[in-house]
Structure 1
């Protein structure tokens, strides 16, 4: 069986070392708990984290030899072989789904077949914090060495404008599109660049602005009343039937609205209201004026 060389992040190393410090388990039990090949991993990680400044240099290993129970000497994995098998399968399936979704989101940027490998690397970069890198590389069919080599390679940007576009995009927390970047280049850097060139630079580096969801005002449920009048506009006495209408009156300042109520007996207005807002208050205020 081929041996898999796994790469562990500093966050994972710190979590393991802290667990070793704070739990009653010994170094061998901690290594077994996290499926580490050897207990030496924990000792090496402790030195590495201190060297990087992640762990304080004066922190010492806890003395766990005294008063340690038999249960704490070894970590007991209570999972059955079937449970372990299914958990491994679930992890692989989740990683495959996440990789395919990430790959699908990047397909609009694909122009040539020669960029398929680069697209795979970018798809892995989008989800590398959620799933093991070795598993994602295995799913994508690329080696981890080539992936890490690609990560170290700087973004495309040989010219000054290319670097400025990428820099402006990153400073905007990935919210600027080509229009905002073009405006920033023009106003702050005195660069007049065609928007198509900015779009090309963004496509080459697979960057796009984060689109905010537009707010949609919830629609109020309309209430349909019974048609009592039923187009019978004949009235035999005053105050029996009224009709209303709103007239738009344009002025120099803004549009003005006239709401009028007419008595069908003699077709004379009995109440009216003028307002600059066409809302429900316009109709309500007019109705209140009826004697």
Structure 2
């Protein structure tokens, strides 16, 4: 097992915190076998500081009382496995997960069992390594063997022609009361035969029960989350699970997201050429490595109540293509020019004064964006104006994609009775989207966190 020095761990952690690279890329950069190791170092550093990166001694042996205390604390405080591991200074959160599985599968006594399993030696080997048991011990062993034989014969009668799996099933039923080695001796079955047969017996205890419950809890808070988002959330909790397994379990639990399959009617603000039409500067080059360099905006329609014409509102925002951050947004009953210019002014105020390069604001050819007031604001702030071609929504595909995510995760998940409820839900989701919702293309970071880390790195 590779041992890493404290200085090496600190260098890796600082590189992760100050760069835009995720755990996987950092692990590849420093030739670390598993990105979960980098994740563990970062969490130890955030919880305990530099001291959390000290080279650990050989793994501790935890007694049963400590295991029970840890599980009780996690249940009482409703804490995650990662939080519990940090609280009790346990280096591997998966250790707690294993304790919980052992407790649910085998009961409280299993937590007090010593690590490993006892070896089953032949009578000749045992006689060489152990002393001859006294008469009382011998009688107890004989009595126990007779009891096992008696119960085995009773259960065997109920099975007309028992096969290997049926015999193994009987042994499984006897295991809570007797040692496996003595049961196999009475039954006359080799341990390898028993191990092979027991694999084909369906168990009542699901080994993935805890993971399924965790996935269910994540979906309860984010009903529209797909398996990739769920996989990212699990890794944030310290549970490194392959995305294919998450997909399989979500399919078994019928938790796959269908929110993105719904097609909705799009709002069209085009009224012909009613003002100045700018050229398409963006030309579908949505990627950029500089914040505030390329901004895009648009308007979409939202409805509440019975979703009639009288119960509709309009949403607009200014979206940064660098990180996907929503700089400003608003909801109004009428899609007026003032409605869009107010949002634009709010976004412009967030752009640093000494940016070093000019910003491009892209939109479609809606009448609001051809208006002289919109054009005047851009010229006064020395911002480039860019417009999509007529009837070509793909020229503003990034904005259309964001509106689809908004409607899938908020608008289509709940029935809103009033405009106030709709406005509050959208505002809360924008906050969640900017600061919490992770993106795979941003290295598993939220838009704001990605922008801050990248800006710090440049500085």
Structure with higher RCO (Cα < 8 A, 6+ apart) = 2
Does the alignment reach a TM-score above 0.5? no
TM-score normalised per structure 1:
0.24
Higher percent of residues as helix: 2
Give the structure with higher Rg (CA): 1
TM-score by length of 2: 0.16
